[in-house]
């Protein structure tokens, strides 16, 4: 007989939740907001995957989803003795993203100015992912003001947002959609 796992526990009904360590915290604390935003980004990447067809891009996005899950796990762990939890992303992951950025940029038209979000549907979703990623990065820095955070996490998020920007450009290019450039005095 398979044992059912209750999704509802009722333990959070009073506005608190448990961290991975078992410590209870308020649902509005910076730590929860931070790893909740990382989870939100992961969900947006899942949506983006429904629009992306190129195998190389799909594989990179799935890798990013797995790494973001690890980032969330690290952020949800209470620091032990004033030390940041062991980083679950590292320099090799950042290097891999840099290689993915270079690969995605290969063959794109030269940068002509600031690009407005949008274009084809996949590119527009990539733009949403990029802005959520930037918010997650800002929240990680805010969290780092009050408790130790693995140094690799904000670097990874910074590079991921760069990747998402280039991916958006690539997706528009693959779809044959012209990028909309920002014009200073458009009316």
> How far is Cα 95 from Cα 8, in angstroms, rounded to an integer?
40
Give the pLDDT band (50/70/90) at residue 66.
very high
Q: Find tokens 């509802």 and name the residue.
A: 8
Tell me the H-state helices in the chain.
Answer: 30-49, 55-75, 91-105, 121-144, 152-175
Q: What percentage of the chain reaches a pLDDT higher than 90?
A: 60
pLDDT of 84 > 60? The answer is no
Span 24-55, pLDDT tens digits: 776 667 888 999 999 999 999 999 999 999 99
* Phi and psi, residue 83, nearest 5°: -105, 145
Span 118-175, pLDDT tens digits: 999 999 999 999 999 999 999 999 999 999 898 999 999 999 999 999 999 999 999 9
Distances (CA, A) of 158 to 4, 43, 95, 124: 40, 18, 12, 19
């Amino acid at each position: 007989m398979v044992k059912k796992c209750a999704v509802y526990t009722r333990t959070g009904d009073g506005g608190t939740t448990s961290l991975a360590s078992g410590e209870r915290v308020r649902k509005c604390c910076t730590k929860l907001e931070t790893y909740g935003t990382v989870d939100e980004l992961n969900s947006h990447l899942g949506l983006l995957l429904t629009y992306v067809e190129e195998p190389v891009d799909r594989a990179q996005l799935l890798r990013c989803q797995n790494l973001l899950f690890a980032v969330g796990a690290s952020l949800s762990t209470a620091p032990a003795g004033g030390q940041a939890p062991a980083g679950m992303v590292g320099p090799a992951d950042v290097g891999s993203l840099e290689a993915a950025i270079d690969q995605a940029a290969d063959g794109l038209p030269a940068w002509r100015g600031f690009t407005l979000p949008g274009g084809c549907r996949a590119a527009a979703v990539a733009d949403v992912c990029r802005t959520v990623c930037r918010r997650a990065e800002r929240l990680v820095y805010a969290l780092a003001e009050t408790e130790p955070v693995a140094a690799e996490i904000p670097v990874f998020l910074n590079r991921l947002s760069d990747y998402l920007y280039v991916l958006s450009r690539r997706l528009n290019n693959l779809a044959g959609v012209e990028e909309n450039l920002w014009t200073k005095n458009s009316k």
